[in-house]
Structure 1
Amino acid sequence: MELELLDENERKLNNLTLAVYILQAVSLLVGVTGIVAVIINYVKRDDVRGTLYESHFEWQIRTFWLALLGYVIGAVLTWLLVGFVILFAVWVWYIYRVVKGFLYFNDRKPLPLQ
């Protein structure tokens, strides 16, 4: 197995990155786990610098903040009804970001930060 070749520190970072992706996915049903995920990202950010996981942490952080912004805008605009469309679009975009990030993580590839 490829994970057997990882040293102990890299294995911890690998597991932590996976846990954050899981927390982000669960946040689609239980929103508070997304907050827990981004707190983990910020607390452990220095530990992943210079590793494969750095791009994943940046991706996860950016996903959280952009989704939060989109949800706030959508919520404010619900009285115009267009907010419901925005909320749905942000929800779909969030799923896309979590899935794409996980697939890159699973392939042990860094994410292009765009």
Structure 2
Amino acid sequence: MMMTERDEQAKTHALIAYLMMVFGLFTGIFWLIGAVWAMAKARDAKDTLFEDHYNNMISIFWWGIGLSIIGVVLAAFVIGYFLLLGVWIWSIVKLFKGLAKVTSNQPYRSF
């Protein structure tokens, strides 16, 4: 499949956002920077091969934030620690799946 210039740019920006979010799993601030990068570049990726990668990253960010807040609140009851661990593992799986797909020039949800 031949990629257009827009596809190439969308892929590059998706890679940057994914890598920042992966690094952010260990530092925190890069999680936010990667998500903001994805949100800022999502419009440029509209109607490209990589459009759904941006939806994936934005979804991981918002679900991760929401579930982490719940996990912090529930940490007083110990179950929150398990929720936080689960969110972290879920994020790793989704981000690395996205990285594997984007480097293979595939949409996130390929059938």
Q: TM-score, normalised by structure 2?
A: 0.90
Matched, 1:34 2:34: no
**1:53 matched to 2:50:** yes
Counting matched residue pairs gives 110
Task: Please list, as runs of the form range in 1=range in 2, the aligned pairs for 1:69-108 lying within 5 A after superposition.
Answer: 69-108=66-105
Q: CA deviation at 1:54?
A: 0.6
State how far apart, in whole Å, the 2-side matches of 1:8 and 1:48 are.
11
- Local SS of the residue matching 1:18: helix
Q: CA deviation at 1:70?
A: 1.2
Runs of at least 5 residues in structure 2 that lack an aligned partner in the other structure: none
Go from structure 1 to structure 2 and tell me whether the alpha carbon gap of 1:6 and 1:18 turns closer, same or farther (over 3 Å shift).
Answer: same
TM-score by length of 1: 0.87
2:11 maps to 14
The answer to whether the Cα contact below 8 Å between 2:53 and 2:98 also exists between their aligned partners in 1 is yes
Give the whole-Å Cα distance in 2 for the aligned partners of 1:12 and 1:64.
22
- SS of the residue aligned with 2:108? coil
Overall identity of the aligned pairs, in %: 25
Distance 1:8 1:105 in 2: 15
Structure 1: give runs of 5+ residues left out of the alignment.
none
Question: Counterpart amino acid of 1:48?
Answer: A
CA distance in 2, matches of 1:38, 1:46: 14
Distance, in Å, in 1 between the alignment partners of 2:62 and 2:106 is 23
Q: C-alpha displacement at 1:11, in angstroms?
A: 2.7
RMSD: 1.8
